């Protein structure tokens, strides 16, 4: 009970630190767009961590849920006149529906699951960008919802989604359900014998992770207001989320936040102005991570016997 209480307090401290940091940072650093994008990748890395860090399923096509949320939100804004926050929630529900449709992919494992998930995201992309759907999605010409453009409000919404996603990661880490997930990840057969419903647990985590990505996509569309299919279905989004989560440490709460915060800061500092140097240093960091820190940056804290979650 004492460990659970300590873990809960630590999780609350992490959430409070995130909230204070991203409320205060716009007053210190004037480029709110960069901070918004950083939060977006932190939330995506955390959302991917929910499914990969706690079940071992690596979704290369995670961007498919993100893009679905962006387009669903935009379509609802364009054709329903609903308040934009409801449209964002609609984006999350649309991603949830796609997650249900793709649920049978969980019967696969390893590279087979990852490749099938990537193929599914590409199918969604080609459907959305189809010329025949131009009246609905804008087809290859993109979609525009500049009538609801509100950078400050969407910034606050992304912070809320980031806090929600981090709270879910803390729940998976601390709860009895999360204990079953970790047991299932390490040894599915033993977990099943111990009473863990593996099929249901995997599906629940998969759907939660998909919904989170849809919410992130919806808020991203709200902030961007004008975008093309390539902007929200690019494989780069999935790759960044995976690398950020791995760099910090999957299966933890602070790992994906730490990885995304540090690497995106690095990218914002030199990646835009000198992409050739960024790619070289970025690749070197990944090689260093694989060779010396396979469990991510949080492993350094564990070695120093610091409390991490």
Who contacts 43 (Cβ-Cβ below 8 Å, separation ≥6)? 158, 161, 162, 165, 212, 216
State the residue range of the domain holding 175. Answer: 2-235
Question: What is the mean pLDDT of each successive set of 10 residues along the chain, which is 309 residues long?
Answer: 66 92 91 94 97 93 97 96 96 98 92 95 95 92 93 97 96 90 85 87 96 98 94 92 92 93 86 72 78 83 60
Note whether residue 168 is domain-resident: yes
| DSSP 3-state of 143 | strand
pLDDT at 272: 64
pLDDT at residue 1 in the model:
45
Q: DSSP string of 47-85?
A: HHHHHHHHH----TTTHHHHHHHHHHHHHHHHHH---HH
Would you say residue 288 lies in a domain? no
Say if 264 falls within a structural domain.
Answer: no
- For residue 72, being part of any structural domain is answered with yes
Distance CA 102, CA 308 (A): 34
User: Tokens 């984006």 correspond to what residue?
Assistant: 91
What pLDDT is stored for residue 271 in this prediction? 67
Instruction: Please give the tally of structural domains in the chain.
Output: 1
Residue 302 in tokens: 């564990």
Contact at 8 Å (CB) between 44 and 206?
no
Angle at 255 between CA 219 and CA 296, to 5 degrees: 135
Domain-embedded: residue 247: no
Distance CA 235, CA 153 (A): 27
- In angstroms, the CA 61 to CA 301 distance is 31
Q: What is the pLDDT of residue 273?
A: 67
* Dist CA 266 CA 251 (whole Å): 23
pTM for the whole structure: 0.93
Asked if residues 95 and 210 have their Cβ atoms less than 8 Å apart, the reply is yes
> Which pLDDT score, from 0 to 100, does residue 233 have?
95
Query: What residues contact residue 128 under an 8 Å CB cut-off, 6+ apart?
Result: 67, 71, 137, 229, 233
pLDDT of residue 282: 75
Does a structural domain hold residue 293?
Answer: no
Does residue 194 form part of some domain? yes
Helical H segments across the chain, by residue range: 2-28, 32-55, 63-80, 84-101, 110-128, 134-137, 151-174, 176-186, 188-193, 198-224, 229-233, 235-248, 254-266, 275-292, 298-303
Q: Give the residue from 244, 68, 257, 266 showing the smallest Cα distance to 163.
A: 257
Give the distance, in angstroms, between the CA of residue 227 and the centroid of all CA atoms in the same chain. Answer: 19
What local confidence, expressed as pLDDT, does residue 237 receive? 93
Residue 248 lies in a domain: no
């Amino acid at each position: 009970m004492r460990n659970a209480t300590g873990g809960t307090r630590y999780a609350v401290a992490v959430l409070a630190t995130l909230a204070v940091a991203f409320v205060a940072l716009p007053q210190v650093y004037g480029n709110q767009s960069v901070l918004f994008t950083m939060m977006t990748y932190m939330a995506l890395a955390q959302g991917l961590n929910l499914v990969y860090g706690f079940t071992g399923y690596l979704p290369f096509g995670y961007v498919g849920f993100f893009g679905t949320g962006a387009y669903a939100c935009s379509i609802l804004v364009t054709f329903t006149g609903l308040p934009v926050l409801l449209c964002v929630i609609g984006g999350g529900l649309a991603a949830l529906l796609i997650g249900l449709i793709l649920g049978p992919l969980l019967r696969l494992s390893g590279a087979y699951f990852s490749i099938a998930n990537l193929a599914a995201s590409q199918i969604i992309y080609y459907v959305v960008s189809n010329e025949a759907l131009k009246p609905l999605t804008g087809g290859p010409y993109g979609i525009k919802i500049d009538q609801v453009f509100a950078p400050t409000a969407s910034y606050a919404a992304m912070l809320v989604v980031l806090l929600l996603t981090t709270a879910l990661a803390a729940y998976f880490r601390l709860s009895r359900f999360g204990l079953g997930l970790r047991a299932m990840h390490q040894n599915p057969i033993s977990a099943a014998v111990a009473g863990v419903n593996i099929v249901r647990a995997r599906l629940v985590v998969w759907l939660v992770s998909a919904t989170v990505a849809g919410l992130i996509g919806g808020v991203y569309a709200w902030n961007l207001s004008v975008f093309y299919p390539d902007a929200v279905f690019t494989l780069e989004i999935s790759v960044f989320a995976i690398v950020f989560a791995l760099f910090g440490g999957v299966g933890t709460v602070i790992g994906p936040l730490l990885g995304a915060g540090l690497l995106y800061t690095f990218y914002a500092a030199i990646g835009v102005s000198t992409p050739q140097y960024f790619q070289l240093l970025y690749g070197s960091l990944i090689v260093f991570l694989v060779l010396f820190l396979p469990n991510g940056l949080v492993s350094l804290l564990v070695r120093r016997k610091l409390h991490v979650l």
